[in-house]
Amino acid sequence: MPDKIKALFLAAEADPFVKIGGLGDVAGSLPRALNAVTNADVRLCIPFHGAIQRQAYDLHRVATFEIPHVNGNIRAEALATEFNDLPVFLISGAPIPADAPVYSSDNLVDGHKFTFFSLAALELMRRLDWRPDIIHANDWHTAPAIYALSSKRDMFYINAALLLGLHNLPFLGVGAGPALKGFGLLPAIESNLPPWAQDAPLPLGLLSADHIVAASPGYAREILTPEYGSGLHEFLVSRADAVSGILNGIDTQKWNPETDPELSSNYNPDRLEARQENKQALLDEVGLKADPDRILFAIISRLDPQKGVDLVPEALRQIASMPWQLIILGTGDATLEDSVRQLEAEYPHRVRAAIRFDAVLSHRMYAGADALLIPSRYEPCGLTQMIAMRYGCVPVARATGGLRDTIRDCDRSKNGTGFLFKSASSDSLAGALKRAVRAYTDRSKWGAVQLAGMKQDFSWNRFARQYMILYKKLIRTQKHIHLV
């Protein structure tokens, strides 16, 4: 076992360079946490998207080389920088145009971009003669790096363990097959993947990785079932021994009620009563009347069918006679935006809808709302429940994926941290909301739930240690699945 584990971390996006979603959070945090707490040598490699502010970083060119393609070699340029002690490489070339968004809606276009990126990242390390002990790719975009190494014998990487991080299974990259083929990555027609998946990048990564790590232990189990398996559950069951889950962490410096500059009043577990000031300020800000006996619910979410926000209006109607208020912050699907606006029109004295992305308001909502509603249909990990607990805002969530892994139900556990419900239905959600409204009437009990949540450790440091245990195990037992 090497003294210092060398890991190449590949992702389509990484905060703060460029962040579109949760993957950006992970890629921006986990490599640094690994280096800081486990003495690893992790290097991050991302595409040099147009959205990345060149002048904000001290970038220097480290290599130029060509990537073979059936229509002629494509030139790649690699730039390097250090960010908070993390070595970062950015790759540019014609498939990564400066005027294109990070993701388009065309998997063929994105497949060309990200396969080029994945292969260029591997080639770059060869040029730099930096030989990783492990390649940690993420989601469909960088899965081609893993497939490439297992479908062609490559002496430089012969000892590297291949790990694929899975943050959202339904995004398989279907339609990108011809783009992979252009770079010489042929469909796996003799594999046990279903025929429709044999040329899609994520399934190919799932087929060829030494190990698959999902964004929570719960999600790792769920993807083996027809309900969550995106048509791949039978295949994934055949790889069940190679599937596990590790939770994502949250940035505990950014999300800290004791120092958060956006709050009216900072607080910690010993000064929980200060939340009252934040609640008052939040209600004033959105124009709702304060009433100490009303529980204030919040939703902070992408408005996407995945998040189950469509279950909320009917659930609230069912508990209309109970004392609650609700603030919704979200944007996304037009139909869901409309239904949220309608809910505000239906309950003008109780509901406010902020249809936008507003990071500042989100901080104030975590600090001022009493409970956060998270009725997700599926949730690979979920960050909002962890942030909410850190802020003493009690989660009311569907028992799925990472939500179930991180929230202890108040009626099932002495040390409960929230309220869980089972089925993705308004009735089931209403049942959990009722339990929350009733619990809120007993303030000492409610305070105990808040404190139990605030005591949880959701820091990246904790999860980085779990990743290092996995890295070491894979390096020790590494034997490539050579497909050829």
Q: Which residues bind ligand ADP (CB under 6 A)?
A: 21-22, 300-302, 329-331, 357-359, 362, 382-384
- Which residue's CB is nearer to ligand ADP, number 295 or number 309? 309
List of residues 6+ apart from 262 with CB closer than 8 A: 360, 363, 364, 367
Asked whether 391 and 257 are in contact (CB, 8 A), the reply is yes
Q: What H or E segment, with its residue span, contains residue 121? A: helix 107-127
- Which residue's CB is nearer to ligand ADP, number 105 or number 321? 105
Shortest distance, position 382 Cβ to ligand ADP, whole Å:
4
Q: At what angle do helices 139-151 and 107-127 cross, to 10 degrees?
A: 50
- Which residue's CB is nearer to ligand ADP, number 21 or number 217? 21
- Which residue's CB is nearer to ligand ADP, number 93 or number 218? 218
- Which residue's CB is nearer to ligand ADP, number 254 or number 422? 254
CA distance 247 to 231: 24
Shortest distance, position 401 Cβ to ligand ADP, whole Å:
10
- Which residue's CB is nearer to ligand ADP, number 90 or number 329? 329
Shortest distance, position 458 Cβ to ligand ADP, whole Å:
12
Shortest distance, position 11 Cβ to ligand ADP, whole Å:
14
Helices (H), 257-399: 275-286, 312-318, 334-346, 359-368, 384-390
Q: Which residues of 64-93 are buried (b: 16+ CB within 10 A; e: fewer)?
A: eeebebeeeebebbbbbbebeebbbbbbbb
Shortest distance, position 96 Cβ to ligand ADP, whole Å:
23
Shortest distance, position 282 Cβ to ligand ADP, whole Å:
14
Shortest distance, position 168 Cβ to ligand ADP, whole Å:
8
Helices (H), 287-333: 312-318
Shortest distance, position 343 Cβ to ligand ADP, whole Å:
16
Burial of 52 (0-12, 13-18, 19+ CB in 10 A): buried
- Which residue's CB is nearer to ligand ADP, number 151 or number 301? 301
Burial of 204 (0-12, 13-18, 19+ CB in 10 A): buried
Residue with the CB atom nearest ligand ADP in the bound state: 22
CA distance 260 to 391: 10
Helix (H, G, I), strand (E, B) or coil at 105: coil
- Which residue's CB is nearer to ligand ADP, number 228 or number 235? 228
> Closest Cα to residue 22, out of 185, 216, 157, 207?
216
